Amino acid sequence: MCNSLAVRNWLTVVATLLFLPACRADEGPFFITYTHQMEEPGNLEIATKGVTGKPEDGRRFVGGSTEFEYGIKAWWTTEVYLDGQSTGSEGGLFTGYRWENRFRVLPREHWINPVLYIEFENINGANKSLLEIVNHDGKGDLLDPSDETRHEKKREIEAKLILSSHFKSWTIAENFIAEKNVKHEPYEFGYAAGVSRPIALAARPDRCNFCPENLQAGVEVYGGLGTHADFGLRGTSHYVAPLVAWTLANGTAFKISPSFGVTGASAGFLLRFGVSYEIAQFGRAARNLFHNFGGQR
């Protein structure tokens, strides 16, 4: 009796969450660069980001992250990432998790809007999601067999200063990255910057998938800046990546970005791709459900 009630309640929870209204995933077209746009309070965005490439003298790999982004407050967004990768004939493996928090500093919109970002990473050396490039990260990191690199633990704290602006419908963002292993030095640095714009600025009156307002185009650049002891561009990898994002009328967003390495240490060519879907007011629905759930007991 008790079991059947529990099963029914859980089925109700699952069914309700599945049919929650979707809204537009407003994540923007960037893969690496963050803007000051926060997740709306109570909304949950589920996204996957992938990257594939074949470094010189290495095997083709696919790295991926699944993201769960939730708006706690209008000025505070939290996000959990689950990372994995698959390399050539080495098979696939889970490579760790990340937990990030972003805090918008100023309550109003300004020319430049700062956001503070703090992240804890618990990943291993086989991680190939390449969500940021710091220090001398480069093609050499992608060559070692996963069976060896998976044993290297990386517990790191990463901080970013995100500066971004919306200017005449252009989005312009710059990120300064600092990262440190919790157990040892060095402090590692990197950067990312991007600019993007919708193809059309005004919306069409009809619901449409292929209208130009649903398309965004842009470009981002990112790379490493060495360490506190060896700061600079020498021997670091840098990428230039044009990108396109397309949002369907139901809110599902797709994006793709070919990334071109521009220095000898870079990985040559990387192809990034992503899909995201946002569930509107997930927090409120979950609260109500669990409130009712508790009331039935």
Partner 1 sequence: MKAALGCLILAAWARGADPLQQAPPSAAHLRNPWEGNERAWRAGSKLYARECAACHGPNRDGMEKAPALNRNNVSQAAPGALFWVLRNGSLYRGMPSFAHLPEPQRWQIITFLRKPR
> Rule CB under 8 A: which residues touch partner 1?
21, 23-24, 26, 28, 35, 37-38, 40-43, 71, 73-75, 104, 107-109, 166, 168-169, 171, 198, 201-207, 213, 251, 280-281, 284
CB of 167 to partner 1, least distance (A): 10
- Residue 155 or 204: the one with the smaller Cβ distance to partner 1 is 204
Alpha helices per DSSP H over the chain? 2-18, 146-149, 282-296
Asked if 34 and 160 count as a contact pair (C-beta separation under 8 A), the reply is yes
Asked if 100 and 71 count as a contact pair (C-beta separation under 8 A), the reply is no
CB of 184 to partner 1, least distance (A): 38
- Residue 105 or 262: the one with the smaller Cβ distance to partner 1 is 105
CB of 197 to partner 1, least distance (A): 8
- Residue 217 or 240: the one with the smaller Cβ distance to partner 1 is 217
- Residue 172 or 270: the one with the smaller Cβ distance to partner 1 is 172
Burial classification of residue 56, based on how many CB atoms lie within 10 Å of its CB (0-12 exposed, 13-18 middle, 19 or more buried): exposed
Contacts of 213 (CB under 8 A, 6+ apart): 198, 199, 200, 201, 202, 203, 204
CB of 138 to partner 1, least distance (A): 33
Helices (H) and strands (E) in the chain — how many of each? 3, 13
- What's 173-219 look like in SS3? EEEEEEEEECCCCCEEEEEEEEEEEECCCCCCCCCCCCCHHHEEEEE
CB of 204 to partner 1, least distance (A): 6
- Residue 10 or 167: the one with the smaller Cβ distance to partner 1 is 167
DSSP state for residue 29 in the 8-state scheme: S
- Residue 123 or 192: the one with the smaller Cβ distance to partner 1 is 192
CB of 183 to partner 1, least distance (A): 37
Could you give the CA distance from residue 254 to residue 63 in angstroms, rounded to a whole number?
Answer: 17
User: Which region holds residue 168: left if phi is over 0, alpha if psi is between -120 and 50, else beta?
Assistant: left
DSSP state for residue 39 in the 8-state scheme: P
Could you give the CA distance from residue 159 to residue 163 in angstroms, rounded to a whole number?
Answer: 13
- Residue 42 or 226: the one with the smaller Cβ distance to partner 1 is 42
CB of 74 to partner 1, least distance (A): 4
